[in-house]
Structure 1
């Protein structure tokens, strides 16, 4: 699909073709060209040739996505053909490769299965040869395409900015840095909150268009020093379009008391009672962000007692009728003035200290006029234009595009579309992937990165030592472009969680659905078989009956992103209909039947997250040869899971997250892929761990169970890349510090270790330590 805006032509779907080609290239390079005892390759040269053709297509699609001028109309059909052929090739190759793995797991001869795979690869090479010829003919006819084998094409460099691409930049601005134009609003709101004589519980509402800055203003008031010191209790929750009362209650309680599984497992009535009791007698400030309906307010208003002490509730909403219904004081948000708009825009693009070149100033003024004074639109445009400060042509084109837009509400959608169109091709699928999560979700960065890696979005670059580092650079790029928000930072300033604005979330869902890549399954939407399934209903959606008219081979990911109060006693994965599944994230589902049947047969699975109870000891994990991330926990406190041994022997495993008492022992052979291990069990009943078998570990949690010897952890010193280390204790009389620590430790956590204070001097000598956490009797005294 091509969208024309004045003089420019943008490829909206080249991102999807690029994502599929990149995914297939990863399969070829990681599974076909790497040593594998299951595979008999009859022609390695043919596989190498396929790899080169896919690299050629990658370069073309990057050039195609970056080419914003003089694009020929027939390139649309060429790109669509690449997408169709790549999807078909990916499915065929993975299907035949899967058959090889199945036969190998049975212990049978793999020759016949490998022959079929070889024939499929031959046909795939022919298909891509045909496309390659068409591309070269296009190049010859137009004399405008520049396609090379280097990772960065000239047009892509031009699009992302000629003076230092943003990609890889780890310098992030604080979320509210550069925000202007709210000083008067803050003064008015803080007066109503803390200086108004009224002692009765009062409700204030901020109302205005989506993207006008309601949440930003509410957050600035919420964290304002005089406000934070005035209220004994402050709590914040996001309500969203599809409000969930229990989730709101849990979120508010989490701001007041330490969250435990006991609290999260309570029902709505119990949670409401506990919240009301926690607020009784205290002066509190409650923020209910993004309220869509009066029903959402009615469902929770009874939890907020009137203590006659000046407690306040602050709401934000787009809808005047909600504001009138809920509030005694309505603050109507106004758009930014032209001066404030220019300050916000110029700071984001050129920085505080840089002067704006004259040739860009007049264009910049036209651009902010086209943003209608909406901060979301202004920062989105600034995020785009900060990357193309060397291209006056793109500035002119953006100014002309904005001038042609109509209403303010539609303007936001068009501006977000414009920002997306100008994104580098490799970032587009990563951005659209935010659509699989629920609106206003707080997304853990480590989880997001693991999902991006599992989906095969990342184009390998030699300068990055790991795919995780490359994915992190992608995320930082999107944040610096003001498309993704850094939501929570760790103590050392790294991003722990992120989110996208609800207007951008709407855009991501709409575009991904338009490309037939995303299906959102809930009570209001029919089921479709797309590449990504966002499962939000209360019934298990993948059954033969529900999908009898659809082709299952399209589905690569099933992610449950609904509320975390869903219990499923039993579900079947209707294998082999989901045999190409890569991602299965049921971490928010409370499953009560050990392991969903059929998982062991999902041999292409790369990411598996479960929340279950029961024994998994007989689960045949060894069949999941492509598993990269495994996260399994028990949702019932006091019932640790029984897991099979040898999980760390999975060859592709990179991240393992288990509960402390369900922890694992080290692998029998060297596993250089393992980067994260929570938790490793050590103690007298287990062999002394040899950490040389996991030489590239970056994060490690050690759970000590049973008596330990003074030399138990002596081989820790060999983990030269380890940056984060946690110790926790079970029933142990004494904990011994290791004789030597890994040299690059940055974060160190102790819990229940009862160390004497004099041993703090040993920790104080660690040269790179940045964060030290002492929890629950870490030291004596």
Structure 2
């Protein structure tokens, strides 16, 4: 029988694909797995009912041949051309088509067969192909997942009797399905639950398909569910519910993309108080908590270098023993995979097919991304495909930045705004910046963007893209002609009609006019020069880009802003290095963001302005903003990384700068009603004082939109002469210098109702003793003290009721931390520097005391650096899941 032979051969082909499985994308592997199950089902049908199969003979034969031809031809092309030169798009399309044909013919065959339950398509077994996306060693133990497996098992076997949802979240290829499958197949779990069902939801979702999968996996097709009932959704739901009722079950919903899935199937899962569980895997954080907001998501972490190397060895060498001469290059290759398990598996498959000699591996080490990129693209592209339209340009714009760059969230948001990606909704009370923050959080929740650090209030401070997500981002951006990233020193010839251009280089480079000679793009809206060492004094090419909105070119040799810049009327974002801002700046009437760096900060550490200490600036310098700055109504952010004086506004009837949200750093500003009137909506303010003159800082209380204030006082500046008064809206306050008495800290600052973060540095405070009182600092969460002369601190837990993080640096005379600090129920972290042994011991004692009361949530960190880690509570390192505080140890840094 030709059909039988063809199907038998196809079953073997789809099973024996394992020798080259690493060359297939997850999508292809899933489709091949489906074909395998269809072939097994149809082969069984032929075996049991040959008399009924005659009408299917030709179709089954031809279809089996077609499927086998597709798989084997692609495998041949892989071996002949190599993975780097072959696109898998056509292959995946052909697999999709043939799988659909198998589905149709299998449906027809099921209509022909007698009613029985032993012959059915098993969604549980077929879904196992999806688990091939994870890396598993020869003995079946998933590398790097031991802690994750234990955590999920603990939740599945927990004491709670109510039905619980256990969500697993992470980016594509990080091992969500492997973790779920490993737990699902665990002997303890198998023994624990009366019934287990596995559903691969995927992006091609339909309610009937999911319900049929549940029915099928519970072996209800046949005697219990007729063909007519299979088309009735209400009947299917009733059948599933009744079959689960009264039984302790584990249901796995793998690869969920929409909340509609849960809305459709929630009703079929009874809660009988018997400890049943639903395990859900998804790439979308919001979706993970949709079934139950109180159920914490299990976030998948990237593998570390050691785990990546162990996985690579396990896949390439059967005995896991790597020859010594290959170990160094092998570790480099593993590290290049960025901690993504699927990438390691893919490159391991490639290594398995080459000579195990250093020269061959060295060549691969230089081409990891080209090898694994095409396979990963199909997987990661789904995350992009399911992005809302309004998020896509925001994501693609991130391709503009350097590889591994720690991208400032505030800078990114300002660029989004300048690009016009955000449209303010009518009636919305949020600012554009607040809406953009939500956009960025959405990208993080979809596991496309990695948070590398957070601010003390939990908002994103810096972010980055995984190397392979960045590759996808660049490709999508190029494919959609959204932007052009030029990483070489010579511009290629085909740069035409681009909208956004970024010049990037891992090394500093010198810009020349020739860089723009090959570009014909009068439609350019964005030009970013990153890692630029020198920029031409007179960039005449700018005259060609009259529609430019964004221009950034930080370089060491710039002294003034080129006059050509002032011809760019549509410019919204300008970031340059200079020491003089001319009055012509007012020509830029649409300018929203003005960022000026002093040239001294560019070399040798590029973009190191955040390390710039204002106390080192020259007090005799006379840097000043021009008077015309008051005639630029669109300004939202003025970021001056060296103190400039701000001229008093003219007496004419200039309208206020109502859009101005950020003004930093301004030197020796004497406040009056006219200035307050001109910046009524300022939210972030940075002030520097190098004089003892009265500056009327008591007027700050009238800035009723101010949320963040930094005041640096040097050279005679004294708070006692200023009679300070701060607005009640203030959330973050940093004081450096000025010697404000401790009693005023308690009286003035302690009474601020919305203050969440307080940083006291240098000589910000005066006196040896600080005593707090009840009712003070009602919402303070972060407290940093760097006060040399502080000796005694008297406080109770009720004085700082919501404190989460306490940082004590450069306090050599403070011998102990008040005992009441440890009793604050919200406290999560105490950080002290290692120089003060007494404080270290005091912090450790507080931790031990709290643990004796059963409180294991307090973490103590001892830092070996004077640098303040401003994000102690919320730091999440690149390629690592945000670490949880280890209650059993004291962290040394």
TM-score, normalization by structure 1? 0.49
User: Greater relative contact order: 1 or 2 (C-alpha under 8 angstroms, separation 6 or more)?
Assistant: 1
TM-score, normalization by structure 2? 0.43
